[in-house]
Amino acid sequence: MTKTFAAVSAAALALVAMPAAAQDWQGGYVGIAGGYAMVDDEESETTPFDTDLNGTFGDTVRTTTGADAFSPGFCGGAPNSNNAAAGCQDDDDGQGEISFRAGYDWQSGPIVFGVVGEFTMSDASDTVTAFSITPAQYSFERSLDYMTAVRGRVGYDMGRFLPYVTAGGVYARLENQYNTSNGVNTFTPTSNGVENTGFQLGGGVEAQVTQVLRLGVEYLYTSIEDDSDFTVRVAGGPATSPFLTGNASGTDQRRSGSDFDTHAFRVTASFAF
């Protein structure tokens, strides 16, 4: 996060130092944006179980003696090892992303309003892990494959600077993956990726460097609802396996949270035409 703010701050200072240019914002443009996206980490997220396979999650996986097989608990992140004592890596570390955009602005007096379309590729991912008393780890990872967005924006002409706010909808593909250190049972996941919808909102400031080139900084909050209902069936292994005590066919497991939220800090470059 420190690197992110440093990069954005440096870009903002560079904008302030730029010479004056033409003060006309109306017209079309294409551009690129790059920076860091940080996942909104859900520390309270868990991985609920359906031990009797009746479609209702929230059961406790128990050993043959009645003990809670997942008493070590859960963590919001990727596991450092197969035991809870080793902890997890935080999800809120910045991951790189890059976007390609095209848009058009209209101007009425000092008010500038327009629409922008964007295609984004990102390395942002969100993981939750469960730990069993075996010990073993069971982790669900959700990552952003790609995202398209259409946003409106409204700004105020301040000469060579254009501060603005922006908001709109997104269409994205999230990929779900499952990982475990358990080598005894079998694990059968459902389909790991579907297209999802969400929204974005944020703001930024652009500066005209020349009549063609514009540079800026931007913040975007993105919220995507994961509709995949990604579930893993845990089965097989010895008859004494905790995953078989509720139903001989196994136990279903999934993550409790369906929201994939990110905070992106970016530098933008646009070419007007």
Whether the bond into 135 is cis, omega within 30 of 0: yes
More confident residue, 15 or 152: 152
Query: pLDDT band for position 44 (50/70/90)?
Result: confident
> Does the pLDDT value for residue 21 go beyond 70?
no
pLDDT (0 to 100) of residue 229: 87
pTM of the predicted model as reported, rounded to 2 decimal places: 0.85
User: Residues 183-199: what's their mean pLDDT?
Assistant: 88
Write down the pLDDT at residue 91.
Answer: 78
> How far is the C-alpha of 165 from the C-alpha of 204, rounded, in Å?
7
What does the pLDDT average to over 69-89?
A: 94
CA distances from 74 to 14, 127, 228 (A): 44, 11, 22
Token pair 């991912």 in the structure block, residue? 125
CB of 81 closer than 8 Å to CB of 90: no
Mean pLDDT confidence for 114-127: 95
Contact yes or no for 187/180 (Cβ under 8 A): yes
Comparing CA positions, the residue from 66, 37, 49, 197 lying closest to residue 124 is 37
Give whichever of 13-27, 70-84, 89-103 has the largest mean pLDDT.
Answer: 70-84
Residues near 30 by Cβ (< 8 Å), separated by ≥ 6? 100, 101, 102, 270, 271, 273
Local confidence band at 8 (pLDDT 50, 70, 90 cut-offs): very low
Please name which of 79, 183, 174 lies closest in space to residue 131, comparing C-alpha atoms.
79
Average pLDDT of span 190-199: 83
* Domains observed in the chain: 2-272 (2.40.160.20)
Q: What is the pLDDT of residues 230-256, one digit of tens each?
A: 999 999 999 999 999 999 999 999 999
- Read off the tokens for 94: 């910045």
Region of residue 159 (phi > 0: left; psi between -120 and 50: alpha; otherwise: beta): left
Q: What is the pLDDT of residue 193?
A: 64
Per-residue pLDDT reduced to its tens digit, 143-171: 999 999 999 999 999 999 999 999 999 99
What is the predicted pLDDT for the residue at 16? 45
Taking only the tens place, the pLDDT of each residue in 53-65 is 999 999 999 999 9
Lowest mean pLDDT among 58-62, 89-93, 221-225: 89-93
pLDDT over 90 (residue 17): no
- Residue 3 predicted with pLDDT over 70: no
Q: Rounded mean pLDDT of 11-32?
A: 67
* Per-residue confidence (pLDDT) for residue 194, from 0 to 100: 75
- Strand 73-75 relative to strand 77-79: parallel, antiparallel, unpaired? unpaired
Answer whether residue 2 shows pLDDT above 50.
no
Judged against a pLDDT cut of 60, whether residue 19 lies above it is answered with: no
The confidence score (pLDDT) of residue 192 equals 66
What is the overall mean pLDDT for the chain? 90
User: How high is the pLDDT of residue 217?
Assistant: 98
